[in-house]
Structure 1
């Protein structure tokens, strides 16, 4: 019997995803037409013996999350539930805090995934790798390769070429250590809790105050002891102990840290749909819609059936529920969210158009992301970032909820906060 745990974070995290996370919890943001979290749940539901999927985070329970969990249970015929942390406890702290519920029923192993990763999720391959190695180790880390510069932003792994044991693990090293990087997807046996428990005990001893303190300070001390990071606190000590192994994937992988990286993740998932969900992709239709490449259109979206000038969509476009698209509209490399309206002859390129926003006739909304080099063997882990080169100029355009762009206006490389009625063109600005 297997379980899966997905770490979804909370409102204090994911600040780089604003203004989109103002309207919906980041894990529920639609990527390639479905909530980000659904890609994880779909992959878990395909694993034989999977009995339960547990979400751990510090979001307050809300209607959107409750509705999604209920619908996911019905769709995938598997128990999906949410456990709320009392405070952010790190990647290992929440796991340890809810260890009794994770181990309930006696699972032989469980997967752990971060919600903000985009992947093919080779869970069956990881399970097979674990069993082929005799089930004697307590953790398998999914990894991929990066170039020297990219690797500095991730956990770096030095492995045994013969056994694939992790010999050395360093989280975000200052200098180059290895081109093998941690993907944030793991397979654990219950023995992992022994190692996390040792860290918890050490934290308690180190952070215990020498004199009696008020109850509030005791609670704070305990909370600090429960903050455990798998990468720094556990993996570094497990490396070289024949307990931690690495499985390298050749499939795609990326992080979804910023809104811009959601566009890149959408592209990857839309391409995967060719094999996994061809029914989610549309093709050119009679009546004025030409589709180029991979495009998702929600069944409730309305494309002008009387268009004299054809609507051109794609490649890599996701159209949400209730979107209205007029004649002659051009959309490329973009996400159009629920209820948006794209009026006649407007153009949306490399952008995210927020819920219930309106793009006027002949208006242009455009970003200029740095696309991965198709000849770069490491392009599969590149993700477009919100700001170019770490500066304050946005690299893509993001419109928040209920933004109105008037006719013949150009918005380029800008972020527009929700509920704005613009009256003129903007370039390279954050519009508050």
Structure 2
């Protein structure tokens, strides 16, 4: 009769009840633990009165008592469940097994897998997305998988997923295909052989009583070492689709009408929104191509022809909308804004004038595609130090990590504008 304390994926041969001795034989699956030392044996006890069936005779002949569990058996999600009950395995006297269940199974890495924060997402049909999302939700409920909260700040190795038909069913199940990872970055596994039919037949005699126990989701029971979970990732845009579906239904329920033609309903890693082209795969946001063409045509005109104040204001608005999508756009726009300010105050929209030659360099900067369309990083800059600088008309001072420096302005510098003095203070502090 099989034991209740079987390993995940364990197969136990049926004892031969006609003999005087039972020799238990075990085989563990490749996903389970390889060390079988310390397995419990059945202890013979004194035989009492005769029993009418071989099964009852076996129950009386052997001691089936177990020590009380250290961790009481209670329902939990299946994902890594054996890790919760690792202390109950101690009576098997196998420290190899207990260590793995306590800390999680460490992948036998043979090399350093390349990690990424921008994995490529496979395109699935609508029907496939629905089925994959169903499988993912089941695994999330079982806590066999977990959602990576900040994948852009946490690199990992990603393997593809796909669907295959379930054996003897019209339903589909999801496969996480780690074949590439296994072949390139894992050490060769130890030799393993499943229990064969011949082995089972050798243990059976005519009229033997038999029973079987099936372990549900056996592979999911074994916990994975937390720092190695990043090697077992997959990506799926269906989670985004679910959020999109929820948002759509919420807006409609609140009475809003969604413009389907102008909406992006298919999850993508490239999206134009409120004047920016978002490229999440590249971690960039840049000026969209159509806006760049508009900027190029408008600035070419402004460099060679007089424009009305209304046209200058339109050009200024166009460049302002793009300045934060460039590295130096705000700096190059400032001289043009200062030049146009007196005209804007007069508010004569039909007045026409040329751009002075000394300002052409600032407007010409906007005609270079690399300057305008290179893009800026999506993620914010994380600084390592904070430098505090201040300036007055008399001098300047700076403070950095407990260190201070200061100085007085020369007679010539005291004639500068306060904005220039503050920028000079930054330069002097950095040089110091």
The interval holding the TM-score normalised by the smaller chain is under 0.3
Q: Which has the higher strand share?
A: 1
> Higher Cα Rg: structure 1 or 2?
2
Normalised by the length of structure 2, the TM-score is 0.21
Normalised by the length of structure 1, the TM-score is 0.21
Q: Which has the higher helix share?
A: 2
